[in-house]
């Protein structure tokens, strides 16, 4: 243990390891959109990083997080490329992809419904149509913030206020129904 | 753990929309791994985006983006309380309450929003009386760090009125706005100064001022 560098030591601390693992898993799920594959690659990421640290400790322990991030992203991209190669091109891929039963996982359906209800409640609570429009244009349509402000004739402060309050309400609604730890599962089960 | 800045919120939004450069993406993913608070913000944003998509897919979004005109006015339960003052010509008699009466269904509510974005016009908000019974929901933007409550004063500013139309303490709504519901009999046309004094009394700079213009309804 004495010869281990600080980065490797944080991987041996259960609490720190769990935090790092949650983060890596999030990144992988965002890239892959596949829980099972993300879980596998998360383990693989830590295996690769630990092996590298055994061979050559990091000079700066604070580089561990970017090292994990870079490794996870590279593994995810390789996996995506492999997946593309693996697929048999039948011309019916979309139909095959849609064949899976979306109702197969009752908890996923329930979570999706809860999310929808929460967002609907937030939007309904907003006092003006314009405030609702701001959120829809930003979060659903991915429109540029400055453009939204120009179109609606609002200033940056108003924009920030609307978005901030909506986020706070949304968080509060989720907190009411779910434990904080569940938010993670909630967000990544997309 | 650190507070999330507005620029970081924007970065999160672009990350989820896959709109980051390589360099930015490495920075964001590093932060996700290193900072649980930042990660939670990403998760909240992601869930919010997903919720919007689900709303759109289920066909429920369009109705939420329609004007409230013609709909039963929504006075949120949390706000179902405010001030009631009456509006239509003659002597002003205002009745103010926060956290109570839902108006009878036949009474129309019109929302007037007072926001810090100021124009060149003398009045921040102009309202034309229609002659029909109406309640005015006055919604005040009091900045991003609102006080717990405000003393809301509405008084004539053009010398044609000799009464203070409203002087009432109103609790700040949970969403950070101050909402006053006016109901009653006639408010004469003219300009009104609206002053919101934070309570407990803070520095004078924290006082918020707006101007309301009421125009004649008939013949409009």
Residue, of A127 and B89, whose pLDDT is higher: A127
Q: Report yes or no: B209 and B124 within 8 Å, Cβ to Cβ.
A: no
Highest-confidence range of A81-85, B24-28, B130-134, B171-175, by mean pLDDT? Answer: B24-28
Predicted local distance difference test score (pLDDT) of residue B85: 35
**Number of CB atoms found within 10 A of residue B98's CB:** 22
Last residue in a domain, options B35, B64, B93 = B64
Q: Point out the least confidently predicted range of A82-96, A126-140, B27-41.
A: A82-96
Q: Report yes or no: A151 and A136 within 8 Å, Cβ to Cβ.
A: no
Proportion of chain A above pLDDT 70, given as a percent: 75
Give B81's pLDDT tier (boundaries 50, 70, 90): very low
Nearest by CB to A170, which of B33, B44, B76?
B44
Mean pLDDT to the nearest integer, A111-124: 79
Predicted local distance difference test score (pLDDT) of residue A73: 93
CB contact under 8 A, B46 and A139: no
B56 and B93 in a single domain? The answer is: no
CB contact under 8 A, B68 and A129: yes
B32 and B136 in a single domain? The answer is: no
Would you say residue B70 lies in a domain? no
**Residue A175: its chain B contacts at CB < 8 A?**
none
Rounded CA-CA distance B119/B138 in Å is 18
Predicted local distance difference test score (pLDDT) of residue A180: 47
Q: Report yes or no: A93 and A87 within 8 Å, Cβ to Cβ.
A: yes
Predicted local distance difference test score (pLDDT) of residue B108: 67
Would you say residue B72 lies in a domain? no
Would you say residue B97 lies in a domain? yes
Tell me: the pLDDT tens digits for A51-62?
988 888 888 888
Q: Report yes or no: B187 and B87 within 8 Å, Cβ to Cβ.
A: yes
* ipTM score assigned to the predicted complex: 0.76
Predicted local distance difference test score (pLDDT) of residue A95: 63
Q: Provide the β-strand partners of residue B194.
A: B154, B210
Predicted local distance difference test score (pLDDT) of residue B53: 87
The CATH code belonging to domain A106-188 is 1.10.10.10
B118 and B12 in a single domain? The answer is: no
Least Cα separation, residue B141 to chain A (angstroms) = 9
Give A97's pLDDT tier (boundaries 50, 70, 90): low
CB contact under 8 A, A23 and B74: no
Mean pLDDT to the nearest integer, B162-183: 74
Tell me: the pLDDT tens digits for B48-58?
888 888 888 88
B197 and B111 in a single domain? The answer is: yes
Q: Provide the β-strand partners of residue B182.
A: B136
Predicted local distance difference test score (pLDDT) of residue B172: 79
In the numeric block, which tokens belong to residue B70?
């013609």
Rounded CA-CA distance A149/A141 in Å is 14
Predicted confidence (pLDDT) at residue B31 exceeds the cutoff of 70: yes
Mean pLDDT to the nearest integer, B38-50: 87
CB contact under 8 A, A118 and B51: yes
Give B74's pLDDT tier (boundaries 50, 70, 90): very low
Give A121's pLDDT tier (boundaries 50, 70, 90): confident
B186 and B210 in a single domain? The answer is: yes
Q: Helix/strand/coil (H, E, C) string of chain B?
A: CCCCCHHHHHHHHHHHCCCCCHHHHHHHHHHHHHCHHHHHHHHHHHHHHHHHHHHHHCCCHHHHCCCCCCCCCCCCHHHECCCCECCCCCCCEECCCCECCCCCCCCEEEEEEECCCCCCCCCCEEEECCCCCEEEEEEEECCCCCCCEEEEEEEECCCCCCCEEEEEEEECCCCCEEEEEECEECCCCEEEEEEEEEECCCCHHHCEEEEEEEECCCCC
Rounded CA-CA distance B93/B3 in Å is 47
In total, chain A counts a number of residues equal to 190
B34 and B127 in a single domain? The answer is: no
B81 and B41 in a single domain? The answer is: no
Would you say residue B129 lies in a domain? yes
**Domain, as residue range, for B24:** 6-64
Give me the residue spans of the domains in chain A. Answer: 6-86, 106-188
B60 and B110 in a single domain? The answer is: no
**Residue A188: its chain B contacts at CB < 8 A?**
43, 46
Domain count, chain B: 2
Mean pLDDT to the nearest integer, B67-78: 43
Computed over every residue of chain B, the mean pLDDT equals: 71
Predicted local distance difference test score (pLDDT) of residue B76: 43
B81 and B60 in a single domain? The answer is: no
B39 and B94 in a single domain? The answer is: no
What pTM was computed for the model? 0.55
User: Measuring CA to CA, which residue among B150, B162, B179 is closest to residue B77?
Assistant: B179
Least Cα separation, residue B139 to chain A (angstroms) = 8
Would you say residue B190 lies in a domain? yes
Residue, of A19 and A188, whose pLDDT is higher: A19
Would you say residue B1 lies in a domain? no
Mean pLDDT to the nearest integer, A32-37: 87
Highest-confidence range of A139-148, A161-170, B184-193, by mean pLDDT? Answer: A139-148
Give B135's pLDDT tier (boundaries 50, 70, 90): confident
Strands B125-128 and B208-215: parallel
Sequence-separated (6 or more) residues with CB below 8 Å from residue B176: A161, A165, B142, B144, B146
**Residue B179: its chain A contacts at CB < 8 A?**
127
CB contact under 8 A, B52 and A119: yes
Mean pLDDT to the nearest integer, B26-44: 91
Would you say residue B191 lies in a domain? yes
Q: CA dist B186 to A4, B124, B194, Å?
A: 81, 21, 17
B93 and B52 in a single domain? The answer is: no
């Amino acid at each position: 243990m004495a010869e281990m560098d600080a980065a490797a030591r944080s991987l041996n601390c259960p609490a720190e390891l769990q935090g790092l693992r949650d983060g890596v898993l999030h990144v992988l799920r965002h890239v892959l959109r596949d829980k099972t594959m993300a879980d596998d690659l998360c383990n693989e990421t830590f295996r690769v990083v630990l092996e590298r640290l055994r061979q050559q400790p990091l000079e700066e322990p604070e580089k561990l997080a970017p090292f994990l991030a870079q490794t996870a992203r590279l593994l995810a991209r390789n996996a995506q490329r492999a997946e593309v190669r693996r697929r048999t091109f039948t011309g019916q891929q979309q139909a095959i992809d849609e064949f899976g039963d979306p109702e197969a996982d009752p908890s996923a359906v329930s979570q999706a419904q809860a999310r929808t209800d929460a967002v609907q409640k937030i939007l309904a609570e907003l006092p003006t149509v314009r405030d609702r429009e701001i959120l829809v244009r930003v979060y659903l349509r991915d429109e540029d913030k400055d453009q939204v402000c120009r179109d609606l004739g609002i200033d940056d402060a108003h924009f920030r206020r609307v978005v901030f309050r909506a986020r706070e309400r949304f968080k509060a609604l989720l907190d009411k129904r779910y434990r904080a730890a569940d938010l993670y599962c909630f967000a990544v089960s997309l | 753990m650190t507070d999330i800045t507005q620029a970081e919120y924007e970065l999160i939004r672009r990350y989820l929309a896959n709109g980051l450069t390589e360099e930015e993406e490495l920075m964001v993913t590093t932060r996700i791994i290193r900072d649980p608070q930042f990660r939670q913000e990403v998760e909240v944003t992601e869930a919010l985006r997903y919720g919007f998509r689900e709303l759109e897919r289920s066909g429920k979004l369009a109705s939420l983006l329609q004007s409230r005109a013609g709909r039963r006015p929504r006075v949120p339960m949390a706000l179902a309380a405010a001030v009631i003052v009456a509006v239509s010509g003659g002597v002003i008699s205002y009745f103010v309450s926060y956290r109570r009466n839902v108006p009878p269904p036949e009474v129309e509510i019109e929302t007037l929003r007072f926001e810090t974005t100021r124009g060149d016009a003398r009045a921040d908000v102009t309202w034309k009386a229609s002659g029909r019974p109406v309640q005015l929901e006055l919604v005040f933007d009091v900045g991003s760090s609102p006080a717990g409550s405000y003393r809301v004063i509405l008084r004539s500013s053009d010398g044609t009125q000799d009464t203070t139309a409203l002087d009432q303490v109103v609790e700040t709504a949970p969403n950070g706005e101050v909402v006053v519901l006016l109901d009653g009999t006639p408010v004469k046309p003219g300009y009104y100064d609206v002053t919101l004094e934070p309570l407990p009394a803070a520095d004078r700079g924290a006082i918020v001022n707006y101007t309301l213009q009421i125009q004649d309804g008939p013949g409009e």
